[in-house]
Structure 1
Amino acid sequence: MEIADIENDVLCEKIINDINAVLTRDPDVTSFEIIPTLSYQNKSPVIHVEHNLGLESWCAKHVYDFSHKTILASKLSGSKYIYNDSLVKYLNCALLINPDVTTFWHIRRQLVEKNKLKIQKEFQFAALVLTKKPKASEAFAYRRWLYPFQSAESIDWSIEIGICDRCADKSLSNYHAWSHRQWVLERASHLLRSEILHTEKFIKKHISDYSCYHYRQFVLQTIFDICYYDKEQNEYNSLRDFINFYLVDGVSSVGEIIQTLLPNIDLNATNEDKLKCFLYCCNFAAYDIKFCDDLKNLFGFRESFENHRRASLRFIVENCMRFNSSVECYQQPPVSKLSKFDYSSNAFLMALKKSEGMLGEQHRKWCSLFLNFDYSDNSD
């Protein structure tokens, strides 16, 4: 080894020790960044200010290469590593600089299983990694892997939602953050109602990021699947206004809304909770249709507005068809039965079909394909 290489290794070791000292001394470090700098300036490249950790860019590659080399050198014959405290500091630096190395996360998993690392500290470290690279899929996967090691009573799912929110806000079209958020919601259904509010705020801030619209559709479908509804909600104003937009003879009461959407339903044979969930979810979807129209009026045409409006419209139409086609409303008929639905038996759907068909040839094609609207009759 040449003298220059030795000096480089000594310098890298010092920088790694400085980073490790910060992480040890300040357990509340909340962010990590690589700070652009042109060259070495005869001072420590590790910057620590108010719980924020930074590393000057000139040394990042050297530190990563040294950490990578040292971790691999700790590997014995076969697939085993020598597990000690020094290995952790190299893992920390390597993953902070480049969190996409699956092998390094796997080593951390083995350390957790051997009780060499504390669970809470690992959650904090994974969150720190995500501040630098909010699309780090391995960091999200590691967090999901850690959760079974915690007791149900100690889990605060809202913290996980907050991390997803920050990552999505920092890096748009963040598939990994929104997928992780779906995973959280599947285990924390009590957050459904608050997610309606949170996603609306996010959409207003990032109007063209369709990832959030898609997640909002997931929230709506999850609400419907678990038969959730707000027991204190007795009015469905968005759904009422949506119906009245298409019909000459308007509706006002909940009973009239039900009769308009589901003219053939037998209320005595209908599951009450499912019916209330249907109204609650359709009101949600109707609100989003108006929401997209309002955004379009403010910002002009966006593909995200159009796609989300169509998804909301499809939800209402398909579930009206299902309720009207089912012997019992909570039994979903096969798609083949929906495709043969007789629209003439539902004045509201006929009016909606006619009105939507006036929005252009492309939209008519979409309605034909996804809503089974037949526009072959020119009278429609």
Structure 2
Amino acid sequence: MDLNTDNEKEVLCEKIINDIHAVFLKDPDLSTFEIIPTSLNRNKSPVIHAEHHLGLESWCMKHVYHHAHKTIIGYRRQHQQRYLQHSDVLLKYLNVALLINPDVTTFWHIRRQMVQTNHLEINCEFKFSALTLSKKPKSSEGFSYRRWLYSFQSHDAIDWPSEFGICERCADRSANNYHAWTHRMWVLQNDRDLICSELMMTEKFMRKHISDYSSYHYRQTLIQHAYELCYYETDEMEHLHNLKDLISYYMADDLEILSTTDVLEIMLPGVDKAAIGEPRLSSFLYCCNLAAHDIRLCDDQKNMYNERESFENHRRASLRFIVENCVRLLLGELPGLYLAPRTYAQLQEFNAALQKFDYASYTFLAALKRSESMLGENHRKWCKIFLGFNYA
């Protein structure tokens, strides 16, 4: 790009920013924004708008961002506390600056002030933040801003499935997207009714993105969250095929005809069922069935794609969920106690209890320990450290 003077640069940047602002006014339903790689100025507007998609040619990006940044900071310094009175002018520069670089906390803070002073509508801000995430799906500031906006919304008025959709698109576009999955965990905490659909979604995502461990970790959090909420699907309780297959595998026995009660007796022999409660026991079996399913899934994925760290780590996490929660209930830890937030000292105390636990006294856990010992020296070391399996 050939710009002879600073004045010419500013005039051109102003024209481009005004063109982008005109698109915002014309199309309030913009869904995506992209920087289009272009090396030369072809003497036409670098702003591309088609079917709710907005693009900006890359040759002018640096100059436009620098001009917008300088203008915003200049307004703040010149007008100090009164700069929000110029919100209509500031907004077009903020839009451009955040579309190009959505990780500037100061600019998001200005938008927060505009929302609080009723210079911006919350519904429009949800659309704008989603637009910035279409360009940079790993923007922590973009997700943080959405969570802040939700503090002004009533729980019943929020479309949580739509929020999940944004998280999924961002995770799909950018591997190991910690910020998208963390935001999804936050959404999950706000709506218990989404657990079932999330379980199906995570399995599909794990099968599609086999090395994206963020999705595996989210799956682990999801199962733990379901257990904390005492969640289970009544229809699944009659089958528990994955858990029964896992028990059969470990114990080298055919348990196809076992009832749910029999499975419970094998895993938790002699526990006080009345003290624990039927909902907690049902949730225990349901979540262990999910963990057993994931163990098998990881083994199948390993056979199909060869060894990957994501398969091994998720299999271990699923195994740990089953063993730890068996031990907790066998030790007599009641639901109210062990589901409470645990301090570091309490976690250390439980880890010490794992090391002392007598696995040989329980047929299922003894068989599990014996079977896992056959998976190599590294796995035995992991079992010793995290499960307290003291192999001779």
TM range (shorter): over 0.9
User: 1:48 and 1:366 mapped to 2: Cα distance?
Assistant: 55
User: 1:78 and 1:309 mapped to 2: Cα distance?
Assistant: 58
User: 2:78 and 2:190 mapped to 1: Cα distance?
Assistant: 41
User: 1:12 and 1:151 mapped to 2: Cα distance?
Assistant: 40
User: 1:51 and 1:228 mapped to 2: Cα distance?
Assistant: 40
Identical-residue share of aligned pairs (%): 57
Quote the residue 1:363 is aligned against: 379
Quote the residue 2:324 is aligned against: 318
CA deviation after TM superposition for structure 1 residue 78, in Å: 8.4
Q: Is the 8 A contact 1:16 1:93 kept in 2?
A: yes
Q: Is the 8 A contact 2:231 2:283 kept in 1?
A: yes
1:57-206 alignment runs, 5 A limit? 57-76=58-77, 79-80=80-81, 82-83=83-84, 84-206=87-209
Mean alpha-carbon deviation: is it higher for 341-350 or for 49-58? 341-350
TM-score, reference length from structure 2: 0.93
User: 2:31 and 2:334 mapped to 1: Cα distance?
Assistant: 53
User: 1:151 and 1:268 mapped to 2: Cα distance?
Assistant: 38
Quote the residue 2:279 is aligned against: 273
Letter paired with 2:128: F
Letter paired with 2:57: E
CA deviation after TM superposition for structure 1 residue 8, in Å: 1.0
In the alignment of these two chains, the number of paired residues is 375
CA deviation after TM superposition for structure 1 residue 250, in Å: 3.4
- CA-to-partner distance for each residue in 1:194-242, whole Å, 9 max, x for gaps? 1111111111111000000000000011001111111232221100000
TM-score, reference length from structure 1: 0.95
CA deviation after TM superposition for structure 1 residue 352, in Å: 0.9
Quote the residue 1:235 is aligned against: 239
Match of 1:287 among 285, 293, 312: 293
Quote the residue 2:368 is aligned against: 352
Q: Is the 8 A contact 2:354 2:387 kept in 1?
A: no
1:259 aligns with 2:265: yes
CA deviation after TM superposition for structure 1 residue 331, in Å: 4.2
User: 2:239 and 2:301 mapped to 1: Cα distance?
Assistant: 24
Letter paired with 1:315: F
Q: Is the 8 A contact 2:266 2:364 kept in 1?
A: yes
User: 2:82 and 2:166 mapped to 1: Cα distance?
Assistant: 31
Cα distance, 1:78–1:93 mapped onto 2, change above 3 Å: closer
Secondary structure, aligned partner of 2:375: coil
**5+ residue gaps in structure 1?**
none
Q: Is the 8 A contact 2:21 2:92 kept in 1?
A: yes
User: 1:329 and 1:338 mapped to 2: Cα distance?
Assistant: 18
Mean alpha-carbon deviation: is it higher for 334-343 or for 112-121? 334-343
User: 1:79 and 1:345 mapped to 2: Cα distance?
Assistant: 73
Q: Is the 8 A contact 1:33 1:55 kept in 2?
A: yes
Match of 2:248 among 244, 250, 254: 244
User: 1:13 and 1:230 mapped to 2: Cα distance?
Assistant: 58
Cα distance, 1:343–1:201 mapped onto 2, change above 3 Å: same
Quote the residue 2:12 is aligned against: 11
Quote the residue 2:341 is aligned against: none
Quote the residue 1:54 is aligned against: 55
Match of 1:340 among 344, 347, 356: 356
Q: Is the 8 A contact 1:60 1:97 kept in 2?
A: yes
User: 1:75 and 1:327 mapped to 2: Cα distance?
Assistant: 57
Aligned-residue Cα RMSD (Å) equals: 1.6
User: 1:243 and 1:79 mapped to 2: Cα distance?
Assistant: 69
Q: Is the 8 A contact 1:322 1:338 kept in 2?
A: no
Cα distance, 1:3–1:348 mapped onto 2, change above 3 Å: closer
Q: Is the 8 A contact 2:355 2:389 kept in 1?
A: no
- CA-to-partner distance for each residue in 1:257-296, whole Å, 9 max, x for gaps? 1111011213344311100010000000000000111111
